[in-house]
Amino acid sequence: MKCKICGTENPDGLNYCGRCGSPLSPVSEMPMVPEGGVPPALQPVRKAGRNMNLIIICATVIVSLIIVAAVIYFVAADKQTKSSRAYEDDEDEIELVSHSASKSSNEPMSSIDVVANTDLSDSYVSTKWLQGLTKQELRVARNSIYARHGRYFQSKELQEIFGRCSWYSPYRSEIPTSELNKYEQANIKTIQAWE
């Protein structure tokens, strides 16, 4: 039979059109309704596009959630990195000073050079020692801890001071707090409080 509405040929002998669901029998006949069901002519026609829209919506939601999670992760990681970095008050552009500029052993060392060469990595600084230091010497003492871990400084003054130390070998700009031992971390905090 041929459907009167859409013109589709229905070779399987069904009473309803397989394409549009309209009855193929004369209008006067009542269509057979399956028990507890809806006649095929009244059933909604499912389109492939509906499923595709659902897939696109689900994919969009999943991708959005992944992006939000990634942003949250990277923001948290950035905050953690910033909080774990050791800071130094920088003033000028980076300028490395050669170790060949060291003083000869015959010349007496200045108080700044003495402070710069003091190793603060194996004991806590004493209040008595800190009381005798100037503000500039306190700054050098705090940064000597970073210098011993290979930090180069943007401050021309600090770079020159540590450039005179025979042990100084700069190779990086940041020193993570996790690389500092308990004495170094405590000494930085104590010196900062005095500064």
Confidence at residue 188, expressed as pLDDT on a 0 to 100 scale: 93
- On whether the CB atoms of residues 112 and 161 are closer than 8 A, the answer is yes
As a whole-number percent, the residues of the chain with pLDDT over 70 amount to 64
Of 180, 101, 112, give the one whose Cα is nearest residue 148.
180
**Is residue 36 pLDDT above 70, yes or no?**
no
Confidence at residue 158, expressed as pLDDT on a 0 to 100 scale: 93
Confidence at residue 34, expressed as pLDDT on a 0 to 100 scale: 57
- The CA distance from 149 to 94, in Å, is 17
Of 152, 119, 141, give the one whose Cα is nearest residue 188.
141
What confidence tens digit (pLDDT) does each residue in 139-180 have?
A: 999 999 999 999 999 999 999 999 999 999 999 989 999 999
Of 139, 140, 159, give the one whose Cα is nearest residue 151.
159
Confidence at residue 50, expressed as pLDDT on a 0 to 100 scale: 66
- The CA distance from 144 to 121, in Å, is 10
